[in-house]
Each structure stands twice: as C-alpha cells, then as structure tokens.
Amino acid sequence: MRFLLLLSALGLCWAQYSPHTKDGRTSMVHLFEWRWVDIAKECERYLGPKGFGGVQVSPPNENIVIHNPSRPWWERYQPISYKICTRSGNEDEFRDMVKRCNNVGVRIYVDAVINHMCGAGGGAGTSSTCGSYYNAHNRDFPAVPYSGWDFNDGKCHTGDGEIHNYNDAYQVRDCRLVSLLDLALEKDYVRTKVADYLNHLIDIGVAGFRLDAAKHMWPGDIKAVLDKLHDLNETWFPAGSKPFIFQEVIDLGGEAISSSEYFGNGRVTEFKYGAKLGTVIRKWNGEKMAYLKNWGEGWGFMPSDRALVFVDNHDNQRGHGAGGASILTFWDARLYKMAVGFMLAHPYGFTRVMSSFRWDRNFQNGKDVNDWMGPPNNNGVIKEVTINPDTTCGNGWVCEHRWRQIRNMVDFRNVVDGQPFVNWWDNGSNQVAFGRGNRGFIVFNNDDWALSTTLQTGLPAGTYCDVISGDKIDGNCTGIKIQVSGDGRAHFSISNSAEDPFIAIHAESKL
C-alpha cells in the first residue's frame, strides 16, 4: 500500500499535471506583456524571495505587427514564425530570463499559440516582429515553413471558413477562430514543426506551456504533439520530468465541447471559477459567500487536480473570452483583493495570479472601445517595468502580484500547502471563515454590517499578525494582531467599511 502510494505520488510529480514548482511553491503569476529583461529582474528581486512558483509569459514567438489599431495586445496571438523574437525581447534575452528565473526557483511557462497563424486578412509582406516574410492570402509562412497545404481550410464546411456554431465540435476545431488561419494539426508535418518549437523552449529550460485556444484543437492532435516533446532540461528538473500542460478550454457549460475531453493531456483552465466567484463577491443573482462552503467540485467544477484557476485573465479582464460582466479585476480593487484572497486560501486547483497593465478604458454603450490597447509603450516599444520607492510598479504596470494583500496570500498558500479545508463558519450571509489544518485561517466580511465574533481557528495559541492589513516585520505586526487562545479560538472584528474587509493569519505570521 505504502509502495503504491509512493508510486502514485511520483507519477503525479513527473507528469504533465505537475507545475514542477520548487519546494512548496504553489502559485504562478501571469506577467502579461512584460519584457524578458524585466521578468528576469522580477524573478530575482521579488518572485523568488516572495515564494512565487512560476511565471506565465506572453507568447515568445514572432508575431504579426498590426498598425490599425496600433500594436494591440492581441497581435501576439497571431504567429508568423517560431523564431523567439517579439516586443518582449530576442532569444538571448529569453534564454537569460529562463536561466535567471530557474536559478532562483521560479519556473517559466510559455503561452504557446499553436492552433493557428495570423488572420486571413493579414495581407502579405514583412510586417512581423522579426521581419519574416509571410503571405496570408495563400497561407505561406516560409520562416517555419508552412504552405497552403498545412491549413484546415478543406476540412471546414461553413462556407466562409469561419466558426459560427459552438454546438458543432467539427466547426469549432476545423474552422477559423475569428479568421485566424487554422493549422492542420492532424498532419505529422505540422505536429513536428509545432513540437520542434516547443522542444526548443523545453531545451532552454521552460517548465511547461499554456496551450492557447486548445478548445479549437482536437484533443488527439494535441496528444500527438505532446508525445513528441522532450523531457525537461536536467539542469533544473529531475530526469524524466514532463512539461506542465494547461489547456485553454472555455467551458461554461452548454456547448458541444467540454473540458473533460482534455484531461488526458494535462490540466485545463476552469473558466467557471472566476465567473462564479465574481458573481458571489459582487452579490449578484442572490449569491452569498455562505454558499462557498462546498466551493470546487461541489459547484460543478472539474476535479481539483485537473484545474488551473484564476479570478481574471488577460482576455476576460477586458471583456474578451469568457465570464462576462461578473469577472473581477484590478479596476474593482477592493472586491478583487477579496476574490484573490479567497482563491489563494482555498485548496481547489492550481492558482494563477494576474498581473496587468493599465489602459484607457472607455465604455461606449456598455462596451470598452479600447479593449484592444497594448502594453505601456513608446512608439510601440514596450516600456520598462519601473519600481517605485513603495515597491509598487510605475510606467502603467499594475503589478497586482505586488499588492500586499495578494503577495501575502501567495505566501499563505505556500504555508498551508497540503493542509485540509477545515473549521468552515458562516453567518448564512456574506460573513465566512475557514482554516487550512492547523496552519492558517481566514475570515471575510462581505456583508453591509460589522462582523464581531469568536471562531475556532485550529491554530496553536499565540499572537498572530493579520497579513492583509499589514506584515510581520522585525517580530512585530504592522497591521492588526489576532490573539489565539489555548483552545484555538480567537475573536475577530471586521468593519464592513474596512479598507480590506478580511483577515488572514498563518503559522509563519505568528509572533
């Protein structure tokens, strides 16, 4: 029995479901559109020391350059070649980043765009981030090379070649997603070119991949590509380690394609998570935090060990992709911090924290007409991520991952790693609390009145620093102190008008 358990633990560890994070690091952060030189510095000065497990980086391969609108963020989802050459940096800079991040125990996960190349309307020429020639009219990408034979157009039966009906799995996978030229991944030649690209990144030292638009690829085609991948680089990973795989499958229910079809390949993005959590924290549709007692599979989500979870992502924080208006983002900072705090305290799924840039949001008739805007830039050149004296970021970078409440909850998750979900309490409304074994406890007041109550924390007696209102520094708390008595109980008071109406304490915030 013990031997079998050990084997299954090893199996999980070596397989595509494991993020290969170092010693008890339990979260990744998406540094959306950051330059490689800034990510390398951030790994060394912040992510490593603060216990972040890894970084999802924007697509590193050459993409089309769009001038109308001017350099939108989504141009990076329109590949021209697999050269490591984008606005984020060149291959030397990418290699330097991977090495420096790995050396401080922070993994790199690449956003892999392998479903398609650029849009059908992309024209012809060298308007690409590395100057490679392409011709979207006859589907010629000589820098790979792909030709017209390597695309799905013959297989799509919608007339105009576009996806129209999400209840038809063939359309979703064989036709063009918003006009993007759809690669024929059933061809061994295409699979080999994609695998060569991913293997190049694996050899450099990345730990895994987000598979963009995975729902638009057949699970079996993805598997055929994954079967061609190298094991991770042994400079940083144990021999036999498979790349971590998480597939972007938007499944809110009610469509032909479901997330479970992709479990054999790796983890899957659980889009219900942020949509539902946003609805609860906003108190829409009669939802209450008390209902979060059975959060996770109890809410119809996929199994925890297959889920990659997040409150918002680069798409739905600006109204693209799934989730709708309930999605919480940095624009709703107070509610957002509660949602991210809840996610990081709760054991369900592997967690990803979003780190964004600000843009000129401009709603007209309910739609943000600037949802296309790319990262902070000077004439198209991405701006450096500068760090202010108070440790926040400048130059238009939001850096949610540096907000004290979020950074400290990333640490909380590490401290309680592996501990069971215990001591749930709620008031039948929006005041809830729960613990993680005898290692951590969190209390929320999202009601419109004060919370004042004594709760069983499960923690050993002592004085603990609340890591939401402050930090433990030099053996003292800069924020609220919580006294846990010998029976594990502690009194909590949280005003409904507190800057952050939640409190979190854990084994390492004890004085």
Ligand X SMILES: *[C@@H]1O[C@H](CO)[C@@H](O)[C@H](O)[C@H]1NC(C)=O
Q: Which residues bind ligand X (CB under 6 A)?
A: 99, 203, 205, 233, 235, 427-429, 431, 447, 451, 453, 476
**HEC readout, 453-493:** EEEECCCCCEEEECCCCCCEECCEECCCEEEECCCCEEEEE
Nearer to ligand X, 200 or 383 (CB): 200
CA nearest neighbour of 466 among 402, 409, 413: 409
Q: How far is residue 493's CA from residue 323's CA, in Å, rounded to a whole number?
A: 33
Rounded to the nearest whole angstrom, what is the least distance from the CB of residue 276 to ligand X in the complex? 21
* Annotation says 261 is catalytic: no
Instruction: Give the C-alpha separation, 12 to 288, whole Å.
Output: 35
Q: Which is nearer to ligand X, 392 or 453 (CB)?
A: 453
Distance CA 244, CA 252 (A): 23
Nearest residue (CB) to ligand X, 205 versus 501? 205
- In the bound complex, what is the minimum distance in angstroms from residue 207's beta carbon to ligand X? 12
Q: How far is CA 283 from the centre of its chain?
A: 24
- Chain centroid to CA 65: how far? 25
Tell me the C-alpha distance between 477 and 444, whole Å: 20
**Cis before 145? omega within 30:** yes
* Nearest residue to ligand X, scored by beta-carbon proximity: 427
Amino acid present at 426: D
Shortest Cβ 99–ligand X spacing (Å)? 6
Least Cβ distance, residue 409 to ligand X (angstroms): 22
Rounded distance, CA 192 to CA 289, Å?
A: 48
Residue 380 backbone zone (phi > 0: left; psi -120 to 50: alpha; other: beta): left
What contacts 388, CB < 8 A, 6 or more positions away? 394
Least distance between ligand X and beta carbon 22 (Å): 17
Distance of alpha carbon 76 from alpha carbon 22, whole angstroms: 29
Compute the least distance from the CB of residue 234 to ligand X, in Å. 7
Report strand pairing: 208-211 vs 244-247: parallel
* Cα gap 289→432, rounded to integer Å: 7
Asked whether 340 and 313 are in contact (CB, 8 A), the reply is no
| 70/429 with CB nearer ligand X | 429
Please, what is the end-to-end C-alpha distance for the chain in angstroms? 40
CB of 381 to ligand X, least distance (A): 28
- State the Cα torsion 288-292-298-299 to the nearest 10°: 50
Please report which helix (H) or strand (E) contains residue 464, including its range.
strand 462-465
Q: Cβ closer to ligand X: 234 or 297?
A: 234
Partners of 300 in beta bridges? none
Which is nearest to 46 in space by CA: 411, 494, 455?
A: 411
DSSP annotation string for 399-422: -GGGSHHHHHHHHHHHHTTT--EE
Nearer of residues 282 and 320 to ligand X, judged by Cβ:
282
Whether 417 sits among the annotated catalytic residues: the reply is no
Select 8 or 476, whichever has its Cβ closest to ligand X: 476
For the bound state, the minimum distance from the C-beta of residue 270 to ligand X, rounded and expressed in Å, comes to 29
The active-site residue, picked from 212, 411, 466, 500, is 212
Q: Which is nearer to ligand X, 103 or 377 (CB)?
A: 103
Place of tokens 């739905």: 316
Q: Exactly one of 111, 248, 261, 411 is catalytic; which is it?
A: 248
Q: List active site positions.
A: 212, 248
